[in-house]
Structure 1
Amino acid sequence: MVKYADDFKAMVVQEYLRGTIGYKVLAEKHGIKSKNQIVDWVNAYKKFGIEGLFRKRRHEVYSVQFKLDVLSFMKRTGASHAETALHFGLTNPSMIGDWKKKFLEGGAEALDYPKGRPVMSDKAKNVKKNQKPTQQDEMTCEQKLEQENELLRLEVEYLKKLRAFQMDPEGYLEKHKQRYHSNSKKNSD
């Protein structure tokens, strides 16, 4: 996937908003593969302002439940990644594709692992090198079972919500509309 500079995206959006040129011609003019890319930028700009075009500089962490809600919404409504991202206030639609892939490969448990390796301080690195593994470092059988139980609870809860949506999509969305709105606000702060 090609990544475009923030100022380039802003310039293309402003050019479109002037109203003198359409999506397709604008894409050809600037060598953008698809007019849909410009449509996504314009929609993000209209919903979030100029900030909607900028890539996030800090890593945001989303809860497993939020990720499941996003995936469930996308499946129920048939919305695209871009439409779903706009609905939940996310400025990176490709992140939803990553969540979907992880979920399909490993279920709800796979959504709980952050991307990359956790940062380790120099002091912790030195201690870790000199230390032999202790029993405390290893999870007991009971702890592993508790963790598995919690993940299964999450998965069951997700499936219940999915079933409730499939039975009455409008009622479900109306009931949970406020929660989705507040989740996206909390996570984007």
Structure 2
Amino acid sequence: MAKYTVQQKLDAIMLYKQGISSTRIANQTKINKHFILRWVEIFDTAGISGLTSYGNSLQHFDASFKLEVINWLVRTHSSYPQTARHFNLASPSVIWHWKQRYDIFGVAGLSDQRKRKEHQITEEQLTPEQEIKQLRERLEYAEAEVTYLKKLDDVMKQKRMKTRRKQ
């Protein structure tokens, strides 16, 4: 759930549009003034729909789009917030991260770096040989565990016997 409702955002935007400073609105509504200014920017470029979709889902951008954004940023000498507005991106900081990775690693740094779980083999997908090997390993582990627990039990019995003799 969003921290602020669309109505709260619209109320703050309308107060700002009426000439009230973002600091004063922030004090009245207990909303960070930077949020208010960002909402005004989003509202001016995308309208109400920008306020409802902003930040609600993670977006995936391919390396060619990231490169296009960086090239535009450099070519036009724009700021990160201006570039974010131009490409309708939720946060200027994402562009900064892309630029840093591009400066260090080149185009290869713009590819998706998120780790994804590799498809794990389930028991249904095991070949009979793999299943036998897996079962033998589980049996060995269980046998070792039983042996360990028996020895532990013997040690505990001996300790109890010693404490009884002392009494």
Q: Identify the residue that residue 87 of structure 1 maps to in structure 2.
A: 86
SS in 2 for 1:118: coil
Structure-to-structure mapping, 1:51-90, within 5 angstroms: 51-53=49-51, 54-90=53-89
Q: Identify the residue that residue 45 of structure 1 maps to in structure 2.
A: 43
Q: Identify the residue that residue 172 of structure 1 maps to in structure 2.
A: none
Aligned residue pairs total 123
Distance in 1 (alpha carbons) for counterparts of 2:95 and 2:3 = 19
Say whether residues 1:126 and 2:148 are aligned partners.
no
Higher relative contact order (Cα pairs below 8 Å, separated by 6+ residues): 1
Change (3 A) 1:12 1:99: same
- TM-score norm. by structure 1 comes to 0.51
Distance in 2 (alpha carbons) for counterparts of 1:92 and 1:43 = 12
Deviations 1:4-48 (A, max 9, x none): 63544343223323x051234224444556x55433321211111
Q: Identify the residue that residue 157 of structure 1 maps to in structure 2.
A: none
Distance in 1 (alpha carbons) for counterparts of 2:4 and 2:107 = 34
Distance in 2 (alpha carbons) for counterparts of 1:23 and 1:41 = 11
SS in 1 for 2:78: coil
Q: Which amino acid aligns with 2:81?
A: A
SS in 2 for 1:65: helix
* Deviation, structure 1 residue 85: 1.1
Q: CA RMSD in A?
A: 3.1
- Is contact 1:47-1:86 (8 Å) kept? yes
- Is contact 1:40-1:82 (8 Å) kept? no
- Is contact 2:84-2:90 (8 Å) kept? yes
Change (3 A) 1:27 1:74: farther
Deviations 1:133-159 (A, max 9, x none): xxxxxxxxxxxxxxxxxxxxxxxxxxx
Structure-to-structure mapping, 1:76-115, within 5 angstroms: 76-114=75-113
Q: Identify the residue that residue 159 of structure 2 maps to in structure 1.
A: none
Structure 2 residue runs of 5 or longer lacking an equivalent are 128-167
Distance in 1 (alpha carbons) for counterparts of 2:98 and 2:74 = 13
- Is contact 1:81-1:97 (8 Å) kept? yes
Deviations 1:75-125 (A, max 9, x none): 2323222211111122232221221222223221011124x32255xxx31
Change (3 A) 1:126 1:113: same
Q: Which amino acid aligns with 1:12?
A: A
Select the structure of larger CA radius of gyration.
2
- Is contact 1:16-1:23 (8 Å) kept? yes
